[in-house]
Amino acid sequence: MKPLVLLLSVTAIAFLIAGVTDVAYAQEESSGGSSDGSKLIGAGLAFGLAAGGAGVGLGQVGAAGLAVISENPALQSKVFIFIGMVESIAIYGIVMMFIILGQ
């Protein structure tokens, strides 16, 4: 629970510092760097949160997988499948980062 609260607090502070709260108002598109800055923050958050979540998930799945393999080595291939599923979350974050930066 504490890491989630810390993560949400840091994200809220980053939004306040960057001035992203002004994006909610209907404004004409400016030629300034506000849009570019928002894209960079969004891309960083997309990849950072996905990688952080994958890291936490990989820790849990890895620990459980080692316990399963120590009891029954025949299940090693199934453990690798679960680890690959967790790692795909980080890959989705990278894809979203490139989609946001490509706009």
Write out the two tokens for 50: 């996905």
Range(s) of the domain holding residue 63:
54-103
Closest CA to 19 of 8, 4, 33, 7: 33
* Domain total of the chain: 1
- Express each pLDDT in 2-58 by its tens digit: 777 777 777 777 666 665 545 555 556 655 555 788 889 999 999 999 999 999 999
Write out the two tokens for 37: 């800055």
> What is the distance between the alpha carbons of residues 21 and 26, in angstroms, rounded to a whole number?
12
The answer to whether residue 3 sits within a structural domain is: no
Task: Output the pTM of the full model.
Answer: 0.60
The answer to whether residue 49 sits within a structural domain is: no
The answer to whether residue 16 sits within a structural domain is: no
* Residue 7 Cα distances to 2, 27, 28, 52, 62, angstroms: 9, 30, 32, 10, 23
